[in-house]
Amino acid sequence: MRKKVTVVGSGNVGATAANWIAAKELADVVLLDVVEGVPQGKALDLLQAMPIEKRDCNIVGTNDYADTANSDIVVITAGIARKPGMSRDDLLNTNFKIMSDVVAKAVAASPNTILIVVSNPLDAMAQTAFKQAGLPRERVIGMAGVLDSARFRTFIAQELNVSVENVTAFVLGGHGDTMVPLPRYSTCAGIPVTELLSKDQIDAIVKRTANGGAEIVSLLKTGSAYYAPSAAAVEMAESILKDKKKILPCAAYLEGEYGVNGLYVGVPCKLGARGLEQIIEINLTAEERIALQKSAASVQELVNVLGI
């Protein structure tokens, strides 16, 4: 039997995630939204691309959670996105209500599912999903680090004029201005980038990475990034669906790891068939540890506002 992935929210990120899943022939896709007609129309359109792309995926659009029953994975992109001048945190209260509603219905229809949370502010929304779902932490994972590290990798590859395939990069912490890019653990063909780029070059790349989402929001003016965010969520889904056991930076519910307890923060995670299979603890310098704690504190502030 083919795997089944539900994508909740058929806006920019959700519809593009459906597109990547189908293009990679990872699973059948159910696209769900509160708006009538849009998920149905986008699903039908994408389905009609399958003969051209030579992919056998069924793609269904719906407003009814009954159609999502027994999904292996539910990717949640429902909610409002940023506009110029808005921070991710400005989305907090609206997206909290949406997330709570979506998770209750999605988990009722698919009690064995794994949730990948995408809606912002990411870490607080992952925490909301975790508390609402009542699932073990292995099955509620947030997407941010894969995107942030992809941005970091892009800029490193550009600066070095090398293939993006040569570049790995690590970004820890919450998905926001306090994220913690780690140049020491970022490499080109196995060589730490700290050996290949000057401090000034690295500082500029780190700054652009942390500002990566806002740079795109200010260009688009009517929405936020979606090609790379959806590709990032689908890389996580692929690692789970194929039990690849990739180590990816994801938002996970920490229970003492990195000195953080009871909070979603971005850390290196092994993703396989059981979802979050391991949190990898790496050594941090005192400076990096302080930056991570600062990032966790800003997630905690939002979680406190929500009282969850």
Ligand X SMILES: NC(=O)c1ccc[n+]([C@@H]2O[C@H](COP(=O)([O-])OP(=O)(O)OC[C@H]3O[C@@H](n4cnc5c(N)ncnc54)[C@H](O)[C@@H]3O)[C@@H](O)[C@H]2O)c1
Q: Which residues contact 248 (CB under 8 A, 6 or more apart)?
A: 145, 146, 235, 236, 239, 268, 269, 271
Interacting span for ligand X (CB under 6 A) from 32-40, 194-202, 234-242, 264-272: 32-40
62 binds ligand X (CB under 6 A): no
Which residue of this chain has its Cβ atom nearest to ligand X in the complex?
Answer: 11
- One of 4, 42, 82, 139 touching ligand X (CB under 6 A): 82
8 binds ligand X (CB under 6 A): yes
**Per-residue x/- mask for ligand X, residues 158 to 197, rule CB under 6 A?**
-----------------x----------------------
71 binds ligand X (CB under 6 A): no
* CA pair distance 9, 37, nearest whole angstrom: 12
Task: State which residue, 122 or 254, has the beta carbon closest to ligand X.
Answer: 122
Q: Which residues contact 260 (CB under 8 A, 6 or more apart)?
A: 254, 292, 293, 296
- One of 22, 29, 78, 103 touching ligand X (CB under 6 A): 78
Task: Indicate the pairing of strand 187-188 with strand 261-272.
Answer: unpaired
Distances (CA, A) of 156 to 150, 159, 176, 190, 284: 10, 5, 20, 13, 21
**Per-residue x/- mask for ligand X, residues 210 to 229, rule CB under 6 A?**
-------------xxxx--x
151 binds ligand X (CB under 6 A): no
Q: State the greatest distance between any 2 C-alpha atoms of the chain, in Å, as a whole number.
A: 55
Task: State which residue, 89 or 194, has the beta carbon closest to ligand X.
Answer: 89
35 binds ligand X (CB under 6 A): yes
13 binds ligand X (CB under 6 A): yes
Q: Which residues contact 254 (CB under 8 A, 6 or more apart)?
A: 260, 261, 262, 263, 264, 265, 267, 279
- One of 22, 57, 98, 182 touching ligand X (CB under 6 A): 98
91 binds ligand X (CB under 6 A): yes
Shortest spacing between CB 241 and ligand X, in angstroms: 20
Q: For 35, how many CA atoms within 13 A lie in the half-sphere containing its CB?
A: 11
Q: What amino acid positions are annotated as catalytic residues?
A: 175
Shortest spacing between CB 55 and ligand X, in angstroms: 23
Task: State which residue, 26 or 92, has the beta carbon closest to ligand X.
Answer: 92
Binding residues vs ligand X (CB under 6 A): 8-14, 33-35, 77-82, 91, 95, 98, 101-102, 118-120, 122, 143-144, 147, 175, 223-226, 229
